[in-house]
Structure 1
């Protein structure tokens, strides 16, 4: 019964947000509460589940809040203006070059394994170009989301360590065979970006930027482009502060939330020492912060109830039991093609520590090495990164200024293509077996 309610809850939730009957925030909160009540749980029990879920997402919420405020201050102060002007000069108003550049930048930055950092750096660098040239911002969000999903399979990303620890396999054995698979995903993303960019070039043409005032364009297209806020004399300080911040982010030696709290406070005091201006800058970015952080807490409510009611466990068992004996030898391929679906509707932890061991145990009865199942389980990450249960996804759509349902509708087909290509290459190179 819990499995049926769990699947029905997912269907109702997706229907509500895709049909725009409810906002994603209210659907994330109200849908699981209703289904938990239908499952026979009391309000006190549901309340405990909600608090547990919120506790899980609280650290990432703090991180994202101060990260948005920090990069907002850097944009206000004009840190990225010279870089944007230089990129505009290089691309010469060509949407194709900008879109392909977005894909390359996303996957290079994603080498740090953190979606939040990747999205912040990529959107901060590229969004003004999209606004100036009027390129569809859904392309930016889609490329960043799918590209991050592809790179989430690196050893220090979100998926590979979980898969290795859940099945007790050597991470080096898991990853070494996946290098050509990840490379194929990288190439696939570049190719998809090329076609998207070519389509935008056909729609917009190559825009002549000669004689165009960069500052004027920015003022017309970027809401916060107020010249009185620029701090050109502090450009080198802001650059150094940001580089130091990124260095610590990559090193992983300091908690990310602590880094951004300190960096934001320093940036705010140095660039805007006047208390009234500090309040104005915080207020200017408060609506964006509230929208994103509230969505993350709502996602915490959803996952807290999904986990606390044990719906996710029952869903996993019922899905695995649906695999017929005749398809047992194909389990690695099945896992590769379905892992994205699983991790779209449930958190990575629930899938890798709840579902994957069951799949591996089933595969073992057919003589399939657990390392193959582990490799297959990470292939679906491009789809996973579009899930409303991933906190950084809400950061991405908030920064780009698109709705999460529009983002999913646009990007899902490209994520599916990436997963199919990576699965095919994994079979071809022997990372997972077909028989």
Structure 2
């Protein structure tokens, strides 16, 4: 019964948010609670939720101050030179901009922190998307896919968890998987190229429709003027039509192009402090990579220093925080709401029941192929469960069964990490919630475009691992 309730709960939750019948926050809270009542859970659910909220509190604090900090850096113009450089390299080409977004996200992902990756990528690229009238959903999709593939690096988390759970060396696990990761990144670039081509065609269609509409309007006006004046036809060769020009390779890039993050006249710019802000940001990123202090604490201190130096007046500091409050409330509320879903899954035993059921339904004849099966199962299981739940709860069970067929622990560990592109699209991943919040994208719109592509990426990585022999076929 718990298995049925668990899968039904997750399915209903996904349907409600993808059809936009409920907001993610409401769905994350009410749907699990309804199923907790059906499962017969008592008042202990409340204590479990509070415990989970306490565990999520550092993540919420990190996201809160990270949003404020990088929002401030955008306000003061720290990223303007980088944005202009990328714009010059990408030109007005949607294809180059989208592919550049994927590459940038992959490079930033080397620090191993998804939240930092998405903050920097969105901060740098979103103004270009708005300038060229590209869909921000495309940005969130390619950033999500790149970060998902790069999440298998040893310091990213899943690889260390898998190595620890099965008692193998992280380097022995990861190094043979590098070709698989590279294959995944090639697939990401190809997907980004296809999305860029699609956006280019969309802009061209819109440009053509606008041009046709303008021409028809001009012809109607001229015909009326001709009928009233009784004169002959007038030539239109003396000037250019308001619709002259087309979307070309990138679409409109004027008008509102320099507003927002690239507005050279915005009052929050601090050009004289660019070196200070740059040094502060570099120091913050270095300390984040060194992992010598808690990440939320680092962002708290950096935000306080940035506010004090760039906006010394208290009224200005309050105004800057208010400016970014909508993003803060959106993402932090979803993080705490996700604590309800996680707590209900664990408190009712649904997560364990679902995992054990999946292991039990594997026929004995499939035993020699358990490594491949683990790679496939890692997609849905890491989507519905936390990485801790999968790697410390499910993987040891699968590995123990696989050992009877001569499949080593390190091979099972390698198979277990290929589902990370799918895992990174889960609403249980705070960094993904931060991504859609920063880009002001609906979670449903993001999921419709990203989940199936993430599944394809995981399969590409699995096939590459099978082709190179680091995961046994049987």
TM-score (norm 2): 0.88
| SS of corresponding position for 1:62 | helix
1:377 alignment counterpart:
416
Q: CA deviation at 1:202?
A: 2.9
Determine if contact 2:60/2:335 at 8 Å carries over to the other structure.
yes
Does residue 1:218 correspond to 2:287, yes or no?
Answer: no
Determine if contact 1:53/1:302 at 8 Å carries over to the other structure.
no
2:244 alignment counterpart:
none
1:317 to 344, 356, 366: 356
Partners of 2:262 and 2:150 in 1: CA distance: 32
1:392 to 407, 411, 431: 431
Mapping for residues 400-411 of structure 1, pairs under 5 Å: 400-411=439-450
Determine if contact 1:128/1:218 at 8 Å carries over to the other structure.
no
Deviates more, 1:173-182 or 1:378-387: 173-182
Q: CA RMSD in A?
A: 1.7
Determine if contact 2:62/2:299 at 8 Å carries over to the other structure.
yes
Partners of 1:6 and 1:208 in 2: CA distance: 46
Deviates more, 1:221-230 or 1:102-111: 221-230
2:146 alignment counterpart:
147
Q: Kindly tell me: are residues 414 and 225 of structure 1, through their superposed partners in 2, closer, same or farther at Cα, counting changes over 3 Å?
A: farther
Partners of 2:380 and 2:125 in 1: CA distance: 29
Q: CA deviation at 1:128?
A: 0.7
Partners of 1:117 and 1:207 in 2: CA distance: 28
Determine if contact 1:92/1:209 at 8 Å carries over to the other structure.
no
1:63 alignment counterpart:
62
Q: Kindly tell me: are residues 96 and 34 of structure 1, through their superposed partners in 2, closer, same or farther at Cα, counting changes over 3 Å?
A: same
Partners of 1:41 and 1:10 in 2: CA distance: 17
Partners of 1:15 and 1:89 in 2: CA distance: 42
Which string of whole-angstrom CA distances, capped at 9 and with x for unpartnered residues, describes residues 325-371 of structure 1?
Answer: 11111111111122111111111111111111111111112221111
1:94 alignment counterpart:
93
1:198 alignment counterpart:
197
TM-score (norm 1): 0.95
Does residue 1:253 correspond to 2:296, yes or no?
Answer: no
Deviates more, 1:96-105 or 1:193-202: 193-202
Determine if contact 1:76/1:226 at 8 Å carries over to the other structure.
no
Q: CA deviation at 1:39?
A: 1.2
1:37 alignment counterpart:
37
2:73 alignment counterpart:
74
Does residue 1:416 correspond to 2:459, yes or no?
Answer: no
| SS of corresponding position for 2:156 | coil
Q: Kindly tell me: are residues 81 and 114 of structure 1, through their superposed partners in 2, closer, same or farther at Cα, counting changes over 3 Å?
A: same
Does residue 1:300 correspond to 2:299, yes or no?
Answer: no
Does residue 1:20 correspond to 2:20, yes or no?
Answer: yes
Partners of 2:461 and 2:332 in 1: CA distance: 33
Q: Kindly tell me: are residues 348 and 226 of structure 1, through their superposed partners in 2, closer, same or farther at Cα, counting changes over 3 Å?
A: farther
Aligned residues: 430
2:407 alignment counterpart:
368
Determine if contact 1:53/1:305 at 8 Å carries over to the other structure.
no
Determine if contact 1:6/1:311 at 8 Å carries over to the other structure.
yes
Q: CA deviation at 1:224?
A: 9.1
Partners of 1:329 and 1:426 in 2: CA distance: 17
| SS of corresponding position for 2:406 | coil
Determine if contact 2:18/2:443 at 8 Å carries over to the other structure.
no
Q: Kindly tell me: are residues 6 and 225 of structure 1, through their superposed partners in 2, closer, same or farther at Cα, counting changes over 3 Å?
A: farther
Q: CA deviation at 1:226?
A: 6.7
Determine if contact 1:245/1:263 at 8 Å carries over to the other structure.
yes
Partners of 1:275 and 1:224 in 2: CA distance: 24
Partners of 1:384 and 1:237 in 2: CA distance: 37
Q: CA deviation at 1:206?
A: 2.0
Deviates more, 1:176-185 or 1:199-208: 199-208
Q: CA deviation at 1:416?
A: 1.4
Q: CA deviation at 1:236?
A: 1.4
Which string of whole-angstrom CA distances, capped at 9 and with x for unpartnered residues, describes residues 358-412 of structure 1?
Answer: 1111111222111111111100000110000111111000011111111111111
Mapping for residues 148-187 of structure 1, pairs under 5 Å: 148-187=147-186
| SS of corresponding position for 1:228 | coil
Determine if contact 1:77/1:232 at 8 Å carries over to the other structure.
yes
